[in-house]
Amino acid sequence: MNKALLFINGEIPKSIPDFNYPYSIISCTDGAYTQYVYKYPIKINYISGDMDSISLPHIPQDIPFIITPDQNKTDFHKALEILINKGIREVDIWGASGKESDHFIGNLSTALFFKNQIKITFHDDYSIFFFTDKKTKLRGVKNKIISLIPFFETRGITTTGLQYPLNNDVLSFATRIGTRNRACLDEISVSYSQGELLIYIGK
């Protein structure tokens, strides 16, 4: 399995990921470790970052540190580079949203940058969200809120199984975006021809 779990330093999750899932790597940035990860009953493979956010009185001696001092990149960006270099092709992210909104927007930008190199799924207490491929099917979503967010104009969007279906439609920032739709079926499909599309699935 080439799937990882990564914690970053956004809003502290109230819910806890499934630590029984057989992740190849479980890691976190230094700020996430300081804020909440050290409280979890899990083994962290390593901590990464520029180490400007480690402030615990007792720095863990049994967890490797990967120091990434490049200030031209965020700790999230550098954490993804590490995972890609380790052969990881899919990652679940916790702690990307909440707190400072500029960090959250920056995290979305980083995810879009790496979209073709690693499959990134964000998780928080309210939803999961990800940049989708041009064709995707979602299962187990009946009655859940589904939002389709274009980056920044997405053409040829067609859906099945949604309360308000789209048929070769265009979504665009500042004109029309696809928030607060709802899944009518347990399995829905979303496809598009041009642009990028972020999908939110409410929990």
Q: Over the stretch 131-179, which tens digit does the pLDDT of each residue have? A: 999 999 999 999 999 999 999 999 999 999 999 999 999 999 989 999 9
Q: How confident is the model at residue 46 (pLDDT cuts 50, 70, 90)?
A: very high
Neighbouring residues of 186: CB distance < 8 A, sequence distance ≥ 6 = 139, 140, 141, 142
Q: Which pLDDT belongs to residue 57?
A: 62
Q: How far, in Å, CA of 191 to CA of 170, rounded?
A: 12
Residue 7 dihedral angles phi and psi, to the nearest 5°: -105, 130
Q: How far, in Å, CA of 79 to CA of 74, rounded?
A: 9
Q: How confident is the model at residue 203 (pLDDT cuts 50, 70, 90)?
A: confident
Q: Which pLDDT belongs to residue 53?
A: 64
Architecture of domain 131-202: Sandwich (2.60)
Nearest residue to 60 (alpha-carbon basis) of 39, 91, 86: 39
Domain with CATH 3.40.50.10240 in the chain: 3-125
For the domain spanning 3-125, the CATH number is: 3.40.50.10240
Q: Which pLDDT belongs to residue 103?
A: 85
Q: DSSP 3-state assignment of 34?
A: helix
The pTM of the whole model exceeds 0.85: yes
Tell me what the pLDDT averaged over the chain comes to.
Answer: 92
Q: How confident is the model at residue 55 (pLDDT cuts 50, 70, 90)?
A: low
How far are the Cα atoms of 36, 97, 123, 146, 148 from residue 126, in angstroms, in the given order?
Answer: 18, 10, 8, 12, 16
Residue 172 dihedral angles phi and psi, to the nearest 5°: -150, 140
The pLDDT of 18-36, averaged and rounded, is 92
The pLDDT of 26-55, averaged and rounded, is 88
The pLDDT of 1-21, averaged and rounded, is 89
Q: Which pLDDT belongs to residue 72?
A: 84
Domain with CATH 2.60.120.320 in the chain: 131-202
Q: Which pLDDT belongs to residue 62?
A: 86
